[in-house]
Amino acid sequence: MYKSKQNLDILYRAFDEYCKYYMTTLPDKDELRKITFSPEFEAKMEKLVNKQKKPYYYMINTVAKRVACIIVAFIAVLTTLTFSVKALREPVVKFIVNTFRRFSTIVFDDEYIDDSFNQGITTFYAPTYLPEGYVNDTEVKGFATYYIKYKNSTNECIIYRQDLITPSALYTDTEDATTSYINDGETLLIVKDDTKKIIWHDEKYLYILVTPHHFSEEELLKIADSIEEIE
Q: What are 15-45's pLDDT values in tens digits?
A: 777 776 666 677 776 776 777 777 777 777 7
Tell me: pLDDT of 80 over 60: no
Q: List phi, psi (to 5°) of 19.
A: -60, -40
CB-facing half-sphere around the CA of 39: CA atoms within 13 A: 0
Domains and CATH numbers, the chain: 35-83 (no CATH), 85-229 (3.30.200.100)
**What pLDDT does residue 69 have?**
63
Q: Are strands 135-141 and 145-151 parallel, antiparallel or unpaired?
A: antiparallel
3-state class of 96 per DSSP? Answer: strand
Tell me: pLDDT of 160 over 80: yes
Tell me: pLDDT of 3 over 50: no
The pTM of this model reads: 0.58
Tell me: pLDDT of 214 over 60: yes
More confident site: 129 or 174: 129
